[in-house]
Chain A
Amino acid sequence: MTRNYYESGDLADFPNIAEHAQEQGKKFFDYYGASTSAGKLSEREKSLIALAVAMTQNCPYCIDAYTNKCLSLGIGEDEMMEAVHVGAAMMAGITLVHSTQMRKIIKKKAM
């Protein structure tokens, strides 16, 4: 039997993460529910944001959960891929903009 740090079946354990810290866990789930359900942004828009974040954070649980949620909401593969590119572009931009620090140091120290 192969054992991995990430098991797809472990996604079903998500509702149990309040174990050993019920009060904080409940607060988290209240916050999570309020933040991800429809508000001024629709459930579709929020699910695409969550999918993009899941990708940028390399979270297999979230990728599984939000890919399925997007499919259930009737969001197209092309729309999901656009969201992934937003995440990818942001990650690239975030990496590149930090070169400012590097370039500042170079400019200061290099002869």
Chain B
Amino acid sequence: MQEIRQLEALEKYHVHFAEKLAGPVLASGVEILQLNVGKRCNLSCRHCHVEAGNERKEMMSGDILKRCLEVIRENSGITTIDITGGAPEMNPSVKGFIKDAAKIGRRLMVRSNLAILADEDYADYAEIYADNGVEIVASLPDCDEARADRQRGAGFFRKFIGVAERLNEMGYGKPGTGLLLNLVHNPVGAYLPALQKSIEEDYRTRLKSYHGLDFNALYCINNMPVGRYLDFLIASGNYEDYMQVLAEAFNPAALDNVMCRTMVSVAWDGTLYDCDFNQMLGLPVCPEHSRHIGSFDLKRLGNRPIALHNHCYGCTAGAGSSCQGSLD
């Protein structure tokens, strides 16, 4: 019901995304397999498109994870395994998956809120990540404690900093170690981020001078009008203005590099989507015969038309935005 309600809200924006396009947007292969391993999370962030939280029960099973591993082994063109959630660490099958996936020798990344590693039940993930060469992509919406906590919940910032310090001591974020700690910035409100380069310089200066922290790169991500963020936009009276800002900043060149063109997103139940946002809106991939990881068909998926809706303005505004930051 929530998916239908959200799609109806997106439908209300008067300039449909499809009107901006000359034709369908086609995938150009599958290089990234993104696994949303569950919606359970230690945080309940106010902008979360997954609407994740501690009460969520959806969790990818060990069998689905095994099937994902088979698909990755069978398809050498999949060069990146991208684990996301919720908090991926809260899925008990993920530890084993990481160890098995690392043996295949592809780029292995996990999107973590880091605060979860401050909990002693999950603290061992730091070593698991380091031992298996996992690239960590950690969300930090702002370098200011009050603003970061405003979006992610009270106490988040201090936990994040504490865990990041520990990761730095292990070599994460330090040059020459091969252990990558990349951060994600997204606005704490109804506006778009400035240029990635500018924000990255500010993060580097502030985190180093105030907390002694190092990181490799900063990804700037637009907040997508999906999930709790869409609810916030509507409730705060910002929906029309935000969509207009996105639509006015539409950049056709960004379409060449949007992540959905080279990615397939696997939901907790094995259903395949073009991206995590389509997943939350209930818009599965177009090829009906390959809509589940159990029937993954690279040939059909590699040139599929992407399912589009008005939230796609979020990835094509200005320099563009993706789960790996701006596209310029």
Q: Does B185 contact A71, Cβ atoms closer than 8 Å?
A: no
Q: Does A76 contact B144, Cβ atoms closer than 8 Å?
A: yes
Q: Cα distance A68–B191 when bound, in Å?
A: 7
Closest-CB distance, B6 to chain A (whole angstroms): 25
Q: Which of B144, B189, B198 contacts A73 (CB 8 A)?
A: B198
Q: Cα distance A74–B201 when bound, in Å?
A: 11
With a CB–CB cut-off of 8 A, which chain B residues contact A69? 194
Residue of A with least CB distance to B206: A74
Q: B192 near A: Cβ within 8 Å?
A: yes
Q: Does A38 contact B194, Cβ atoms closer than 8 Å?
A: no
Q: Does A74 contact B194, Cβ atoms closer than 8 Å?
A: yes
Q: Does A12 contact B248, Cβ atoms closer than 8 Å?
A: yes
Residue of A with least CB distance to B195: A43
Q: B291 near A: Cβ within 8 Å?
A: no
Contact with A along B190-213 (1 / 0, CB 8 A): 011110001101100000000000
With a CB–CB cut-off of 8 A, which chain A residues contact B187? 71-72
Closest-CB distance, B252 to chain A (whole angstroms): 18
Q: Cα distance A71–B143 when bound, in Å?
A: 13
Q: Cα distance A72–B191 when bound, in Å?
A: 7
Q: Cα distance A72–B326 when bound, in Å?
A: 14
With a CB–CB cut-off of 8 A, which chain B residues contact A38? 198
Contact with B along A54-73 (1 / 0, CB 8 A): 00000000000000110111
Interface size on B, residues (CB 8 A): 16
Q: Cα distance A68–B187 when bound, in Å?
A: 11
Contact with B along A64-93 (1 / 0, CB 8 A): 000011011110100000000000000000
Q: Does B147 contact A72, Cβ atoms closer than 8 Å?
A: no
Closest-CB distance, A82 to chain B (whole angstroms): 14
Q: Cα distance A85–B194 when bound, in Å?
A: 24
Residue of B with least CB distance to A12: B248
A74-B189 in contact given A38-B198, A43-B194, A69-B194 (Cβ < 8 Å): no
Q: Does A71 contact B198, Cβ atoms closer than 8 Å?
A: no
Contact with B along A21-43 (1 / 0, CB 8 A): 00000000000000000100011
With a CB–CB cut-off of 8 A, which chain A residues contact B274? none
Q: Cα distance A74–B183 when bound, in Å?
A: 15
Q: Does A74 contact B185, Cβ atoms closer than 8 Å?
A: yes
With a CB–CB cut-off of 8 A, which chain A residues contact B191? 68, 71-72
Closest-CB distance, B46 to chain A (whole angstroms): 16
Q: Cα distance A99–B197 when bound, in Å?
A: 47
Q: Which of B142, B143, B144, B193 contacts A72 (CB 8 A)?
A: B193
Task: Name 5 extra pairs, CB < 8 A, besides A72-B187, A72-B194.
Answer: A12-B248, A43-B198, A68-B191, A71-B189, A74-B194
